[in-house]
A = this chain, B = another copy of it.
């Protein structure tokens, strides 16, 4: 088009922190234990980290790995690495040393940031890291031995606090690579684009009803699909992140009460441990929206959660689609059902997110399977909420994208469409 960028700006989550550093400058962006960062402080620390990375030699498109917990530096990385022009690789903290080594070498990380508690995972593989030029220690809690390398806060000081100009020129450029668990074969690096991340943020804000008053508790690991893009989405809407180093049910109920948490995301297994904990309140003081995925929540779990006054949103997705892709969109006529029948419907999936595109359930020949409650088919998806491909593995990408659709590997049957509502029962293969 003519006139370049006047009528068309790049879709990237970087817009959000740039905007909210001004709009919500004095508002708390991040709370972590006794520490608080306002949006302008958050933006400043992002500028420090991004400029430090450039100063330390990061070039456009190079990978920066973070191997740490849900601490503020992980949030900073989600904006600073792309702002510096790099690609963020957040690594699962539960992996064994050899798995971490594989990922670091496969993505070709140039920088590695490590929480000192995880140094013992890195130390044995340090000599086999082929591309890492610099290791930076994140000392979040004391008592662990550092790896030979800079300290995070000292590293930031190489940089400066002023806004940096963006390096991104195409919204389809990669913003992050997230590795699959690799239950079959080696883990694969799933590439997210700036455009996809941006649109996912707006989708998550709308589907989980985030507002600038939202207080989001980090029960979901940020290394998991960039925290289902909530790292960017909560920042986008100007909400408050409550960071959480490790999962502990008693601590979570305390934080919910203390900070007036309005939203959290977690797998059903995590919710079960929360709801059955002795500190679980009879009734919540403030509305709480819980978004859950990973496996269908049982109707019993849904009933229990609803009973304490929380709202449950049941979603389905996987790493290749930025986390959640479909949602069990609540239908107002379910209000007339008893709680058990309602919970049964809420345990099913689902319809595509507002920001998603096509969803089909197909047989091996790409024919839609009948909605008869018994014929199994594979879930296939396409559009802006689908990864751009697997890093350095065009063969796997082509296989996953065969027939012009992303193949999830999840097989299920479609329920007979009651009143034509495409409610689906899911069984992971």
Which of A17-25, A71-79, A109-117 participates in binding chain B?
A: A17-25
Answer whether A213 and B383 are a contact pair too, CB < 8 Å, given A1-B172, A2-B389, A206-B205. no
Answer whether A206 and B195 are a contact pair too, CB < 8 Å, given A5-B404, A7-B386. no
Answer whether A401 and B332 are a contact pair too, CB < 8 Å, given A25-B420, A351-B22, A420-B25. no
Task: List the B side residues contacting A5 at CB < 8 Å.
Answer: 382-383, 404
Q: Is A54 an interface residue (CB 8 A)?
A: no
Task: List the B side residues contacting A236 at CB < 8 Å.
Answer: 354
Partner of A237, one of B16, B206, B351, B406: B206
Q: Is A387 an interface residue (CB 8 A)?
A: yes
Q: Is A419 an interface residue (CB 8 A)?
A: yes
Most buried by B among A8, A193, A358, A419: A8
Contact B352 A6, beta carbon cutoff 8 Å: no
Contact B387 A15, beta carbon cutoff 8 Å: no
Contact A401 B6, beta carbon cutoff 8 Å: yes
A4 to B7 Cα, complex, angstroms: 24
Partner of A384, one of B8, B172, B205, B212: B8
Contact B332 A27, beta carbon cutoff 8 Å: yes
Partner of A332, one of B206, B213, B355: B213
* Least CB separation from A419: chain B residue: B26
Contact B195 A8, beta carbon cutoff 8 Å: yes
A384 to B15 Cα, complex, angstroms: 12
Most buried by B among A26, A236, A357, A419: A357
Partner of A7, one of B211, B330, B332, B384: B384
Chain A 164-180 interface 0/1 with B at a Cβ cutoff of 8 Å (1 = within): 00000000100000000
Q: Is A40 an interface residue (CB 8 A)?
A: yes
Contact B206 A6, beta carbon cutoff 8 Å: no
Task: List the B side residues contacting A9 at CB < 8 Å.
Answer: 357-358, 382-384
Task: List the B side residues contacting A211 at CB < 8 Å.
Answer: 209
Task: List the B side residues contacting A382 at CB < 8 Å.
Answer: 5-7, 9
* Least CB separation from A384: chain B residue: B9
Interface set, chain A 92-142, CB cutoff 8 A to B: none
Q: Is A303 an interface residue (CB 8 A)?
A: no
Contact B388 A19, beta carbon cutoff 8 Å: no
Contact A8 B421, beta carbon cutoff 8 Å: no
Interface set, chain A 170-212, CB cutoff 8 A to B: 172, 193, 195-196, 199, 202, 205-206, 209, 211-212
Answer whether A237 and B172 are a contact pair too, CB < 8 Å, given A205-B206, A383-B5. no
Q: Is A405 an interface residue (CB 8 A)?
A: yes
Contact A422 B22, beta carbon cutoff 8 Å: yes
Contact B237 A6, beta carbon cutoff 8 Å: no
Contact B332 A404, beta carbon cutoff 8 Å: no
Q: Is A41 an interface residue (CB 8 A)?
A: no
Q: Is A397 an interface residue (CB 8 A)?
A: yes
Interface set, chain A 327-364, CB cutoff 8 A to B: 329-333, 351-352, 354-355, 357-358
Contact A23 B195, beta carbon cutoff 8 Å: no
Contact B23 A386, beta carbon cutoff 8 Å: no
Interface set, chain A 365-409, CB cutoff 8 A to B: 382-384, 386-389, 394, 397-398, 401, 404-406
18 contacts between A and B (CB under 8 A): A1-B172, A1-B388, A3-B401, A3-B404, A4-B404, A5-B382, A6-B406, A7-B383, A7-B386, A7-B406, A8-B195, A8-B388, A9-B358, A9-B382, A22-B351, A23-B351, A25-B419, A27-B332
Report which A residues bind B (CB closer than 8 A): 1-9, 11, 15-16, 19, 22-27, 40, 172, 193, 195-196, 199, 202, 205-206, 209, 211-213, 236-238, 329-333, 351-352, 354-355, 357-358, 382-384, 386-389, 394, 397-398, 401, 404-406, 419-422
A22-B422, A206-B206 provided; 9 other pairs, C-beta below 8 A?
A4-B404, A7-B382, A7-B406, A8-B384, A9-B384, A22-B420, A24-B331, A26-B421, A27-B331
